[in-house]
Amino acid sequence: MSIQPQDQGDEELPFEQDLLSNVVPSSADEPAHREGFSVVNQEVPIALEHALIRTLAMLQQHDLATAEDCNQVAKMVKRDWLSGKGADPIDYLAKLSSGSSEMIDASVETISIKLAETLPFIPTRVPFAGKLIKPAALYEKNPDIELMCRLMRVPVAYAEDLDVLALASINPYFMDALSAAISNYTMERNGTQPIISIIRLDYAGWETMCIKHFREELKHD
């Protein structure tokens, strides 16, 4: 069963207004997949902006980050996205809050599991997912999906074309948003509804998959 984004309400937290000011709204008659995959500021798909806003909102709502933390994280993530690099807010928040690099893994796991528990379907943590084979053919045939996955650092852990997919990440809300975007894209393109599951990774497994899939190492500064 594909997972649709959870409705978090219309209330905007302080940092949301700044982020939303950079989002270019889609026209009402635009196809569904264009709404998710069209770009902001020549680089960033709109769905990424929305996913970032929701993730930061949930971090603050569940006392995992302050408004100041969220503003800092948003700036770092958007900086990377606008330069064409992948980034994740949980990764940056863990680095901000951890006193040393040894604490990042534990911090990421704490944040990741608390966010996962707020979703209707809690994603299973799969430690061996990093060993799965990269679906190179899927990325090559669907460059829009590859771009979204790379910028959000959400690898496709398993794929049977666009019929059955498994997304993997430390960020449940990024996977949730990407699942909806891919579902809309596939329905518009092929007229079919894919089966999409999401699995949660530990920090080391996530880093391994990002390097394997996107040839981008995480920053440790």
Choose the final residue of a domain: 72, 99, 116: 116
Quickly count helices (H) and strands (E) in the chain: 10, 6
Is the pLDDT at 159 greater than 60? The verdict is yes
Paired tokens of 13: 């937290």
List the domain range (segments joined by +) for residue 140: 124-214
Same domain, 50 and 142: no
Flag whether 175 is in a domain.
yes
Beta-bridge partners for 197: 166
Per-residue pLDDT, averaged over 25-34, amounts to: 35
**21: pLDDT confidence band, cut at 50, 70 and 90?**
very low
Choose the final residue of a domain: 116, 151, 184: 116
| Amino acid symbol at 125 | R
The pLDDT score that the predictor gives to residue 52 is 96
The pLDDT score that the predictor gives to residue 93 is 97
The pLDDT score that the predictor gives to residue 217 is 61
- The answer to whether the predicted template modeling score (pTM) of the entire model surpasses 0.85 is no
Could you report the per-residue pLDDT of 168-180, keeping only the tens digit for each?
Answer: 999 999 999 999 9
Flag whether 197 is in a domain.
yes
Same domain, 106 and 165: no
Could you report the per-residue pLDDT of 117-130, keeping only the tens digit for each?
Answer: 999 989 988 877 77
**61: pLDDT confidence band, cut at 50, 70 and 90?**
very high
The pLDDT score that the predictor gives to residue 218 is 60
CA atoms within 13 A on the CB side of 198: 26
Same domain, 110 and 192: no
CATH (domain of 161): 3.30.300
Give yes or no for a contact between 78 and 52, defined as CB atoms under 8 angstroms apart.
yes
Give yes or no for a contact between 48 and 39, defined as CB atoms under 8 angstroms apart.
no
Number of domains in the chain: 2
For residues 219 and 205, the model is more confident at 205
Question: Cα Rg for the chain, rounded, in angstroms?
Answer: 16
For residues 23 and 95, the model is more confident at 95
Choose the final residue of a domain: 116, 151, 180: 116
Same domain, 131 and 203: yes
Same domain, 101 and 133: no
Per-residue pLDDT, averaged over 24-51, amounts to: 53
Same domain, 90 and 128: no
The pLDDT score that the predictor gives to residue 32 is 34
Per-residue pLDDT, averaged over 189-199, amounts to: 93
Distance (Å, rounded) from C-alpha 136 to C-alpha 170? 21
Same domain, 109 and 172: no
Per-residue pLDDT, averaged over 66-85, amounts to: 95
Flag whether 108 is in a domain.
yes
| Amino acid symbol at 181 | A
| Neighbour tally for 106: CB within 10 Å | 12
Distance (Å, rounded) from C-alpha 13 to C-alpha 6? 17
**219: pLDDT confidence band, cut at 50, 70 and 90?**
low
Is the pLDDT at 25 greater than 50? The verdict is no
